[in-house]
Amino acid sequence: MAATGNGSLLSALREVVGPEAVLYDPDELAVYEYDGALDRARPDFVVFPQTAEQVAGVVRVCNRYGVPFVARGAGTGLSGGAIPVRGGVLVVLTRMNRIQQVDYPNRVAVVEPGVINVTVTEEVAPDGYYYAPDPSSQKACTIGGNVAENSGGPHCLAYGVTTNHVLALDIVLPDGNMLHVGGPAPDRPGYDLTGLLTGSEGTLAIFTRAWLRLMRQPEAVRTFLAIFDRLDDASETVSDVIAHGIVPAALEMMDKLTIEAVEPAVKAGYPPEAEAVLLIEVEGLRESVDVQSELVRQVCQFHRAREIREAETLEARERLWAGRKGALGALGRLAPNYCLQDGVVPRTKLPWILRRVAEHGRKYGFRIANVFHAGDGNLHPCILFDEREPGATERVLECAAAILKDCVDAGGTITGEHGVGVEKQNWMPWLFSEADLDAMARLKRCFNPKELLNPGKVFPTTKSCVELSGDVVERAEKLGIPLV
């Protein structure tokens, strides 16, 4: 497609964000057709606004032309939340990446949506504070994406997920109006729109600024690696630690296949012959951390941990964590493709669900690595496959569905922190009745009545992604709207 004259969508977008901040060359667009999940959909335009006003301007242009638009951060999302399944304009917010204010007396940081997660903590750490939610992709993912997906992370066990740490938002509504919701003062009257928007997967509004809660660094932190010869022993340890009245700051598990992938890549010091390792971190006041550490050791020993190692130095601690946070990247070494799922079960169902995951792997003929937030009951079964093998992709999705159905049957859910997106939307009826989904759809229409913002996500649809892409061009042609 080539640019043609005034009055076109291209020139309208250029007018808002400047000519350098609009991409439309198919080669350049190709980079933006996928995020961290399997599905793909190519946008017709990519824009890089630098201010909230520009975001609103882009949204108004999209409204004028009746073109869908989707917000995107770093594109690390794991449910296809940032792919434009009906094409249109991709609003990439990575240039809005300033930490605007740090207010220690109120323990709040005010940041733009393109700020990378870890930079918030880096900014405030010298003063003794941190931002708690720490997704494994925290060195790349953006706060805007975190808020949209209500991201979790290993340290959400004790302190909760993103929604517990977002106090207020500046938003652009799908009609281009700008609004502020929430605030740093507690218990603001009115509906908790900040809470509703957080985790809405980019379907209700585009965030242009977020007020984040800062936490004070703990007085003491101790990190342990517990090594097990049996997977069951490790998973029983998890619920038993919690049953002993300890809520560790983090309680993570990796199985043998994960260790096999991680060790050569990261050299975190996980023993390759172990069936499972638990990474356990306790933090808080000095004495309570000592008391809890001793209890954790006892519980691990009771469940036949072969060895319990403690990170004695900051470097050792970081090395143990590097293994966990690098696990997904390392799994790419084991097979050409993987399908990562995000089911949750009540903690006490962990031993059962892990056995079921293994059974499904055998049944469908895939190796499945397990690396997950055990303390939360949040599984990340990672199904290894090769998409070049005929029928493999279809079987992987069947296998994933079988695992998630088991999670639901065990009283859990299909996604703990990655989002529903495009991959799991047709499984929503396992969890919600028609009335539930209808109420959510009505709420969506309050914000996004024309469904121009991030269409085709979260809720069940009969159309597949492939069928949907290309709609914009066809519709534009029919309506005689000049796209470029």
- Out of 160, 271, 326, 482, the residue judged to bind other proteins by CB under 8 A: 160
Q: Mark the segment that binds other proteins (CB under 8 A) among 54-62, 266-274, 382-390, 410-418.
A: 410-418
Tell me if 461 contacts other proteins by CB under 8 A: no
Window 56-95: residues binding other proteins (CB under 8 A): none
- Out of 315, 435, 478, 479, the residue judged to bind other proteins by CB under 8 A: 435
- CA 427, 432, 438, 443 dihedral sign is negative
Tokens of 132: 């708690």
Tell me if 192 contacts other proteins by CB under 8 A: yes
Report how far Cα 134 is from the mean position of its chain's Cα atoms.
Answer: 10
Tell me if 440 contacts other proteins by CB under 8 A: yes
Closest by CA to 150, choosing from 198, 213, 182, is 198
Cα 394 from Cα 127, distance rounded (Å): 51
Tell me if 294 contacts other proteins by CB under 8 A: no
Tokens of 303: 């469940």
Q: Mark the segment that binds other proteins (CB under 8 A) among 8-16, 34-42, 62-70, 443-451.
A: 443-451
Cα 405 from Cα 281, distance rounded (Å): 31
Q: Cβ closer to other proteins: 88 or 377? A: 377
Window 326-385: residues binding other proteins (CB under 8 A): 344-348, 373, 376-378
Window 88-127: residues binding other proteins (CB under 8 A): 103, 105-108
Q: Mark the segment that binds other proteins (CB under 8 A) among 56-64, 267-275, 406-414, 461-469.
A: 406-414
Cβ of residue 302: shortest distance to other proteins, in angstroms?
A: 15
Residues 6+ apart with CB under 8 A from 29: 23, 42, 43, 44, 45, 46
Beta bridge partners of residue 178, listed in sequence order: 172
Q: Mark the segment that binds other proteins (CB under 8 A) among 64-72, 175-183, 266-274, 332-340.
A: 175-183
Window 237-256: residues binding other proteins (CB under 8 A): 239-240, 242-243, 245-247
**What is the x/- site pattern for other proteins, positions 262-291, by CB under 8 A?**
----------------------xxxxx--x
Rounded (10°) angle between helices 52-65 and 9-17: 170
Tell me if 411 contacts other proteins by CB under 8 A: yes
Cα 158 from Cα 28, distance rounded (Å): 42
Match 């509504």 to its residue by tokens. 173
Q: What single DSSP character describes residue 88? A: S
Tell me if 432 contacts other proteins by CB under 8 A: yes
> Do residues 106 and 184 touch, judged by C-beta distance below 8 A?
yes
Cα 484 from Cα 481, distance rounded (Å): 9
Cβ of residue 324: shortest distance to other proteins, in angstroms?
A: 17
Tell me if 145 contacts other proteins by CB under 8 A: no
